[in-house]
Amino acid sequence: MSDHGERESILPPGDEHNRRLRDHTHPEHWPVEPSRDRYDLVAIGGGTAGLVASAGAALLGARAALVERAFLGGDCLVTGCVPSKTLLKAAEVAHTARHADEFGVRVGEVIVDFPAVMERVRRIRGEMSVHDGAERMRKRGVDVLFGAARFTSPTTLDIDGRAVRFRRAVICTGARPTIPDIPGLREHTLTSETLFELTELPRRLVVIGGGPIGCEMAQAMARLGSAVTLVQRGPRLLPRDDPGAADILSAVFREEGIDVRFETEVLRVEGNPNLIVHLKSKSGTATIPADRILVATGRTPNVEGLGLEVAGVEFDNRGVKVDRRHRTTNPRVFAAGDICSGLKFTHAAYAQAEYACLNALLPFRLNVRDRVMSWVTFTDPEVAHAGVGWDELRKMTDSLDTYTQPINLNDRAQTESESRGFARIHCRKGSDKIVAATVVCRHAGEVIAGLSLAITNGLRLRHVQKTILAYPTRSELVRKIADEWKFSTLTPFTKRLVGLWFRWSRLWG
């Protein structure tokens, strides 16, 4: 949920596309008021988790309400997945056009019309907003209530002076970008919440943070024409992912003209409007000029102003505390999404909200952590992962067999001049049980889907190996890894038995 106030009315710039977004996701003069009857479930926060929890409750026949103080759709629709991936597509088109001559296609000078790019971002977002809109939720049987929710007891809420009673509640208030306490930074920063308000391309952009958001936006803005410097406090990009993926991405970024600075921190920011960013690294201090600064250093859970203490809901600076059922310390209140999860992905919020809703309303004991999580960083190449995370994999090295297939051995990749990337599958040592997988290539997010399905359902490499995959596709990377495992099962003893069979069969012609 974003700040209550002026930003509720319409996002800047106030064009027809942002008005459409407002009309769908926070209509003026919305007629729905809280029911006097007790709700079976109230979802607080209208992002992915809140939409899923409230719609799921209504689908079950429960009396359901959804409370949002800003725009339905939350980060994913308004400031996250939808606008960022739309921007990434424009950047990809520009990059492809610049390199078209490598494929024998002559296009001439490539000109990026940045205002038109951003208008398309707003248009696509406005068109898609109907899917998360208030009217659609009302048709699903959900009372959509606009306003700021605050617990007044373990079973009641206040929404801008209106009382609401509930049997169960699900807190889905999400998180907001974290802005480090660096002198001069807050006054001049862009975040994922304000980046898509731009109408002019920053000539020089400094990106602070080398995680998924920082990497995606650094590459996108560089391809659209900004001179980008990416400042990463740690020694590599994407610290949650395979180091091999990070190495590839670093090389690609540098080739594309992005100035990547590792083990570097920002000391302070000076100037207005011409900014000077002061940096410190092992080699000393330095300054770089900037027109805008994008901060992508993590997210802070939105726990303030909710009256969680009154409700008996424990929380800390990492968010609301939940058990494996996503129930809080108040047994009537559950939570889902960024407010309580270290995995701050839309699909994670969706999955958690499904189980939180069912656990809240029905006599189920569904364990959210039993589900396999996958994630994708939508750079070029994409970095996709499923299963056990990298930090845990490092501790398991001695108990794993790891198989890797480089992208340059894949026929489809070669036809598209893709030479850097890989598929890597980790199995329990001495078996073909898949524990985790990483794929680095174009469309890796599509390739990882099959591996996520396999891990979730206990499928093994033997099942992958006997599956016939279409040729030529990048999915063959996975099948070739399964072939590699199959060949490894041919022990010297097995080969001797096969040799004896051949000798015996030759006697009979």
CATH of domain 374-488: 3.30.390.30
pTM more than 0.85 = yes
pLDDT of residue 496: 81
Q: What are the residues facing 227 on neighbouring strands?
A: 204
pLDDT band for 493, please (50, 70, 90 cuts). Answer: confident
DSSP character at residue 479: H
pLDDT of residue 13: 94
The DSSP line for 216-232 is: HHHHHHHHHT-EEEEE-
pLDDT of 4 over the 50 cut: no
What is the CA 205 to chain-centroid distance, rounded? 22
Mean pLDDT of 344-365: 95
pLDDT of 408 over the 70 cut: yes
Mean pLDDT of 352-366: 94
- Report the Cα–Cα distance between both ends of the chain, in Å, rounded: 77
pLDDT of 2 over the 60 cut: no
pLDDT of residue 3: 39
pLDDT of 151 over the 80 cut: yes
CATH of domain 6-85+130-177+300-370: 3.50.50.60
Nearest to 420 by CA among 439, 398, 401: 439
Question: 53 is written with which tokens?
Answer: 């929890």
Query: Please, what is the Cα angle at 389 between 385 and 394, to 5 degrees?
Result: 120
Average pLDDT, whole number, for the chain?
Answer: 94
pLDDT of residue 509: 63
pLDDT of residue 1: 41
What is the CA 437 to chain-centroid distance, rounded? 17
pLDDT band for 8, please (50, 70, 90 cuts). Answer: low
Query: What is the per-residue pLDDT across 433-445, written as a single tens digit (0 to 9) for each?
Result: 999 999 999 999 9
Q: Which CATH class is domain 186-297?
A: alpha beta
pLDDT of 7 over the 80 cut: no
pLDDT of residue 153: 98
Where are the chain's structural domains? 6-85+130-177+300-370, 186-297, 374-488
DSSP character at residue 295: E
The DSSP line for 30-50 is: ------SSPEEEEEES-SHHH
pLDDT band for 6, please (50, 70, 90 cuts). Answer: very low
pLDDT of residue 51: 98
Query: What is the per-residue pLDDT across 223-264, written as a single tens digit (0 to 9) for each?
Result: 999 999 999 999 999 999 999 999 999 999 999 999 999 999
CB 320 within 8 A of CB 335: yes
> 186-297: same fold as 6-85+130-177+300-370?
yes
Mean pLDDT of 117-124: 98
